């Protein structure tokens, strides 16, 4: 596990604050170290675990993927929660939208 000052350390999903932990090895992302994962959301310990690769865009899509699992949990969307491919598709596209719209968050915070 690595801690860097410039990495986001927590995120609030509805009423739960998740800490964000970054790992250099895919195996370490899995808390049981049995599977090679890009990301993992630990709902019990309120932790999002991310593989820290060289590509930050890939990490963003993984981060959003785990956030969607968190939303599914809060919103009672058990069926969507099981659909990894659909969640991946939403996450990859949402990551691209965020990257392509630099001013979006500033606008949302200020105007909406």
Binding-site ranges for Zn ion (CB under 5 A): 84
> Cβ distance 22 to 1 under 8 Å?
yes
3-state secondary structure at position 63: helix
Extract the runs of DSSP E, i.e. beta strands, from 1-112: 10-13, 16-23, 39-42, 47-51
Q: How far is the CB of 72 from Zn ion (least distance, A)?
A: 9
Please state the closest distance from residue 87 (CB atom) to Zn ion, in A: 5
Output 32 or 103, the one with its CB closest to Zn ion: 32
Nearer to Zn ion, 22 or 66 (CB): 66
Minimum CB distance to Zn ion smaller for 22 or for 39: 39
Q: Given the complex with Zn ion, which of 52 and 88 has the nearer CB atom? A: 88
Question: 3-class SS at 53?
Answer: coil
Enter the DSSP assignment of 43.
T
Minimum CB separation from Zn ion for residue 37, in Å?
9
Report the C-alpha gap between 49 and 18 in whole angstroms. Answer: 10
CB of 38 to Zn ion, least distance (A): 9
């Amino acid at each position: 596990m690595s801690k860097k000052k410039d990495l986001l350390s927590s995120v609030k999903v509805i009423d739960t604050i998740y800490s964000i932990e970054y790992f250099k090895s895919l195996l370490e992302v899995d808390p049981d170290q049995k599977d090679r994962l890009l990301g993992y959301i630990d709902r019990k310990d309120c932790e999002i675990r991310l593989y820290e690769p060289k590509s930050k865009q890939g990490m963003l899509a993984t981060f959003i993927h785990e956030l969607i699992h968190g939303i599914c949990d809060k919103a009672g969307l058990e069926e969507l929660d099981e659909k990894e491919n659909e969640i991946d598709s939403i996450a990859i596209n949402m990551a691209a939208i965020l990257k392509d719209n630099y001013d979006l968050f500033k606008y949302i915070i200020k105007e909406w």
